[in-house]
Structure 1
């Protein structure tokens, strides 16, 4: 009996981490596509039948990719240079692929020597945005593999509408269901892979819900409700996992290039037809022993050099203290960095009320001498701003939602609600406000934690109208803030926040760190 083996390699959520380098901490890291490349090439040398697929969120996320988008977008994207060299078979559109607009994304797709897939992101006439919902790779032994690409359809809840104009985002689950029927009726194949830039909404072992079911992640539903999927490649949640769900082999390889997903499928041929006899999934982690593929990175070294020069540019000075030593404490009471970012937003928008977040726990605040590196290390997303008109009730509801970030442990100490840490850290979904005075009491029941809420020293009335500036992600309701969705937009500021912060500092030269203590979290 004739047998063969097919190896599927998966990267996902690289987020522009091409070099094994943390730009904020300025130190080498055991991550990045340059490290993964060594693992990929090792596997490609061993496997006689090997597919390499990226599952999305490749072209955004580091100062390198930001600098490219702002200053070098008329050249080939450095990530695409590396992916072409590594001979990727396909890539899936992730939600962050849209962060720099359709012009840049369209250029990236045209530069690629491989197809980009997403069956559920379509033009207004229903045709796929990138041209292909799926593709078939026929191996030398005539074994045929289908790769169907699909993307979380939650993107309109986050993305700047100008970046997705003319596109429709169809339900990912329903799209996979429809295309499975089409493929079964119209194609001959031996292995069907769904590569989904989305994750699992339930625990893969117990089936217990791990998040509010919004439709953002539908991987578990796909495995349990649809027939015909052999392998489900997932991402978006930044989880490191392998699983077998209802006979479907599932893998998700972490983020930032920390691990390579690998699925091995063994086949046997009987009466002229290939059949699957075994599937195994594993994660190959980058370690301190993993070599960097320096020859590969040399292809884009000039991009890195220009980025480092740009990051070293001096911007201005800080007097007093705007550094972060404990990110948890920053979220318990007003901090000079948060107050400063809110002031920048208020200045740019001409608004009296602002909200922002400390996006992750790696932010270090601003030292006394500020460079561009400090700015992009603390404000890591290419957000723009919107001023929306909301009611006092919306402000209270938003604060109550932010208050769910906290809970109390057995000792009645304030801790982070585990839902904001697992399965994916969501520190960016806790907002802190300027222009109002408020107190959140975590000992109170959820929904009743706002115990003080004033504007200009007077209690806010629920039917009062306010104009508030916030980032475009939050203004669209992203992060489970539906009270902001579809509100009247008073003003849009289309300069991204990194530029706004830099321009604010350059204009003033010296920034005085202040903290008016307008809010606090208590128990």
Structure 2
């Protein structure tokens, strides 16, 4: 497997070199071109949520990925600086954790005194002015965080992270970092003359770090509400002469209304008097941008404003560079903003076939800065981090409780119980919903998970969990749990009792919507029609494919509340599951499901993914059905205990037929 430092073909290398050449065609921003003698153009640039992705490389899949990488964003930075008369680069947090390079540095390398973290080495080549903290900075503990950030040649600010209990006045809090920084910057005006402007930067971290990293922060730190901290400190910045104040808010955009210690508070930060522009992040989204932000009062996703002030969110993993361009005008001795634009500029695009096309090449200095750690990380992801006592395979994931799905649920339950143990949800029974991703279908007879018993490496996790979803949890009742499973049961065609070798699988229903819910037991009666259509609307109100649904050995109580852990796709309404949508979400985790699996394997040492058989088909005497799987599935027949499966001859397109005896 080639690393990003050994591009796999001359065509790829030639393409990226060509992209660098075309990037040289630079056009000045209109503000720079038209600024008068008493005006100046200032370009503010943001990276956010880099998550240690220095390289355009997916360590989980162990292959290059053109949608990510600070080495690519760096090239954008160079081009964008050339478009501006004056520019500043900031980082908005979440740099230290999020991919295997971060884990390698924390768990294997260890960061000895004098070491500089690779993401910091890379950032040090780019001329950052200031940065703030993201919630993931705390994942490896305070000592590690301070050691890493100490290697940066630029300062960090954070106004709402204290060393102890909150003071009666935010300005009296004992803060870990300076709450703000005022930079005296020399800028050129439209006539080419140098002037001094005082730019203030104030930073914020989500208060939820006290929940997400309680084991690292309990008794050592405390957080204050973001807006409360802003209201206290911004007037001080103005009193100290800041001409403009820029908020570095590692916090997303939520229009549900202000609330105490709000996680995504950037919209309400923008409303604080004295703040002139807002850099946001944390949500891994793009602002300005389409659809996501429609309907949020006081947010303009076309112009790129929050409460009328310029704002930007620059994606994640280096996918975009956030830009706020200001046309400044001197008013006596101070400067004011008279015009602005906002943009999130990507490092790639997709063609008509949705194929990813890189728009820029890597910046050599960034690649060289972290080259050694990148190569060490490749060795790390290919090295076992734990063991599995049984093979992980998905050959029968659509017809029987499955070990590849089982381990995902085990990891999700382990994670959510730990994260919510000090919350109001700690006493709710926990269920886990997980689906098989690699189950043949249109992707062919080789498209299955197959990890043998024994050592398991980080890259094997990509086989278990294909998508970079994040963990989310919903609170629903027993009746809604049943309907969730009724929707999942659309995976199967209706079969008449007594049928011989009927076709089982509904090939129009994607496997990633076939959720298995662990923590309950149930049977699926495929003699009944499906209850819900693909849109989640009722097709057959009297249909009850889900039979004998039990919790704790007893019929489930339709009114009982359950905490169900899943992912952001399902919890947010993906798949049109009835009554499962964002209004049911009670917890949005800062971690991806893949990362949770890696942590679970690391914590357990040896995992036991043996399927517990919590679901099966309701017996239909005299009935058999057929399904297809890989020919390799024949080697695992003896391991399936919950159902009776037989070989049924060669299938089509490289698949093999199997018979399920009901």
Instruction: Please say whether Structure 1 and Structure 2 have the same fold, judged by a TM-score greater than 0.5.
Output: yes
1:89 aligns with 2:159: no
User: Which shifted more, 74-83 or 163-172?
Assistant: 163-172
Query: Once the 2 structures are TM-superposed, how far is the Cα of residue 101 of structure 1 from its aligned partner?
Result: 1.3
Please give the residue correspondences for 1:176-255 in structure 2 after superposition, counting only pairs within 5 Å. 176-184=230-238, 186-202=239-255, 209=256, 215-223=262-270, 225-242=271-288, 243-255=304-316
- Cα–Cα, structure 1 residues 345 and 215, in superposed 2: closer, same or farther, change >3 Å? closer
How many residues are treated as equivalent by the alignment?
456
Query: What per-residue deviation string (whole Å, max 9, x for no partner) do you get for residues 426-461 of structure 1?
Result: x9xx9965453258987799xxx9996524533367
Could you tell me which residue of structure 1 aligns to residue 520 of structure 2? Answer: 436
Please give the residue correspondences for 1:295-334 in structure 2 after superposition, counting only pairs within 5 Å. 295-313=365-383, 322-323=393-394
- Of 373, 395, 402, the residue aligned with 2:458 is 373
3-state SS, counterpart of residue 298 of structure 1: helix
- Of 44, 47, 61, the residue aligned with 1:11 is 47
Question: Given that residues 245 and 276 in structure 2 are in contact (C-alpha distance below 8 angstroms), is that contact kept between their aligned partners in structure 1?
Answer: yes
Could you tell me which residue of structure 1 aligns to residue 613 of structure 2? Answer: 516
TM-score by length of 1: 0.72
Query: What per-residue deviation string (whole Å, max 9, x for no partner) do you get for residues 283-330 of structure 1?
Result: 2210213011133211211111111112223576897762499xxx98
User: Quick one: distance in 2 between partners of 1:319 and 1:261?
Assistant: 46
Contiguous gaps of at least 5 residues in structure 1: 203-208, 382-392, 417-426, 472-478, 484-494, 506-510
Please give the residue correspondences for 1:377-388 in structure 2 after superposition, counting only pairs within 5 Å. 377=462, 378=464
3-state SS, counterpart of residue 25 of structure 1: coil
3-state SS, counterpart of residue 7 of structure 1: strand
Contiguous gaps of at least 5 residues in structure 2: 1-36, 167-172, 187-194, 289-303, 349-357, 418-428, 440-446, 468-474, 491-505, 525-530, 539-543, 567-582, 588-597, 618-662
User: Quick one: distance in 1 between partners of 2:174 and 2:116?
Assistant: 24
- Of 593, 600, 605, the residue aligned with 1:497 is 600
User: Which shifted more, 192-201 or 69-78?
Assistant: 69-78
1:289 aligns with 2:289: no
User: Quick one: distance in 1 between partners of 2:547 and 2:237?
Assistant: 56
3-state SS, counterpart of residue 68 of structure 1: helix
- Cα–Cα, structure 1 residues 324 and 293, in superposed 2: closer, same or farther, change >3 Å? farther
- Cα–Cα, structure 1 residues 259 and 345, in superposed 2: closer, same or farther, change >3 Å? closer
Question: Given that residues 163 and 174 in structure 2 are in contact (C-alpha distance below 8 angstroms), is that contact kept between their aligned partners in structure 1?
Answer: yes
- Cα–Cα, structure 1 residues 23 and 176, in superposed 2: closer, same or farther, change >3 Å? same
Query: Once the 2 structures are TM-superposed, how far is the Cα of residue 257 of structure 1 from its aligned partner?
Result: 0.9
Question: Given that residues 268 and 277 in structure 1 are in contact (C-alpha distance below 8 angstroms), is that contact kept between their aligned partners in structure 2?
Answer: yes
Query: Once the 2 structures are TM-superposed, how far is the Cα of residue 80 of structure 1 from its aligned partner?
Result: 0.9
Question: Given that residues 318 and 367 in structure 1 are in contact (C-alpha distance below 8 angstroms), is that contact kept between their aligned partners in structure 2?
Answer: no
User: Quick one: distance in 1 between partners of 2:105 and 2:230?
Assistant: 34
User: Quick one: distance in 2 between partners of 1:123 and 1:398?
Assistant: 43
User: Quick one: distance in 1 between partners of 2:283 and 2:165?
Assistant: 31
3-state SS, counterpart of residue 139 of structure 1: strand
Query: What per-residue deviation string (whole Å, max 9, x for no partner) do you get for residues 324-369 of structure 1?
Result: 99xxx98x995432313455799999xxx97556599899984234
- Cα–Cα, structure 1 residues 435 and 359, in superposed 2: closer, same or farther, change >3 Å? closer
Question: Given that residues 265 and 280 in structure 1 are in contact (C-alpha distance below 8 angstroms), is that contact kept between their aligned partners in structure 2?
Answer: yes
- Of 198, 210, 229, the residue aligned with 1:144 is 198
User: Quick one: distance in 1 between partners of 2:87 and 2:218?
Assistant: 34
3-state SS, counterpart of residue 237 of structure 2: helix
3-state SS, counterpart of residue 108 of structure 1: helix
User: Which shifted more, 144-153 or 431-440?
Assistant: 431-440
User: Quick one: distance in 2 between partners of 1:110 and 1:169?
Assistant: 22
- Cα–Cα, structure 1 residues 237 and 316, in superposed 2: closer, same or farther, change >3 Å? closer
User: Quick one: distance in 2 between partners of 1:463 and 1:401?
Assistant: 13
Could you tell me which residue of structure 1 aligns to residue 23 of structure 2? Answer: none
Larger radius of gyration: 2
3-state SS, counterpart of residue 162 of structure 2: strand
Q: How large is the RMSD of aligned CA atoms in angstroms?
A: 4.9
- Cα–Cα, structure 1 residues 5 and 397, in superposed 2: closer, same or farther, change >3 Å? farther
User: Quick one: distance in 1 between partners of 2:315 and 2:155?
Assistant: 23
User: Which shifted more, 277-286 or 153-162?
Assistant: 153-162
- Cα–Cα, structure 1 residues 35 and 78, in superposed 2: closer, same or farther, change >3 Å? same
Could you tell me which residue of structure 2 aligns to residue 105 of structure 1? Answer: 145
Query: Once the 2 structures are TM-superposed, how far is the Cα of residue 175 of structure 1 from its aligned partner?
Result: 1.2
User: Which shifted more, 454-463 or 9-18?
Assistant: 454-463
1:338 aligns with 2:405: yes
TM-score by length of 2: 0.58
3-state SS, counterpart of residue 97 of structure 2: coil
Question: Given that residues 207 and 261 in structure 2 are in contact (C-alpha distance below 8 angstroms), is that contact kept between their aligned partners in structure 1?
Answer: no
1:256 aligns with 2:324: no
- Cα–Cα, structure 1 residues 136 and 213, in superposed 2: closer, same or farther, change >3 Å? closer
Query: Once the 2 structures are TM-superposed, how far is the Cα of residue 107 of structure 1 from its aligned partner?
Result: 1.0
3-state SS, counterpart of residue 196 of structure 2: coil
User: Quick one: distance in 2 between partners of 1:239 and 1:157?
Assistant: 23
Please give the residue correspondences for 1:268-279 in structure 2 after superposition, counting only pairs within 5 Å. 268-279=329-340
3-state SS, counterpart of residue 16 of structure 1: coil
- Cα–Cα, structure 1 residues 73 and 402, in superposed 2: closer, same or farther, change >3 Å? farther
Query: What per-residue deviation string (whole Å, max 9, x for no partner) do you get for residues 51-101 of structure 1?
Result: 111111111111111111101132321111111221211111111111111
Could you tell me which residue of structure 1 aligns to residue 227 of structure 2? Answer: 173
Could you tell me which residue of structure 1 aligns to residue 70 of structure 2? Answer: 33
User: Quick one: distance in 2 between partners of 1:300 and 1:176?
Assistant: 36
- Cα–Cα, structure 1 residues 270 and 35, in superposed 2: closer, same or farther, change >3 Å? same
Question: Given that residues 438 and 453 in structure 1 are in contact (C-alpha distance below 8 angstroms), is that contact kept between their aligned partners in structure 2?
Answer: yes
Please give the residue correspondences for 1:403-442 in structure 2 after superposition, counting only pairs within 5 Å. 434-437=518-521
Query: Once the 2 structures are TM-superposed, how far is the Cα of residue 18 of structure 1 from its aligned partner?
Result: 0.9
- Cα–Cα, structure 1 residues 295 and 277, in superposed 2: closer, same or farther, change >3 Å? same
Question: Given that residues 437 and 454 in structure 1 are in contact (C-alpha distance below 8 angstroms), is that contact kept between their aligned partners in structure 2?
Answer: yes
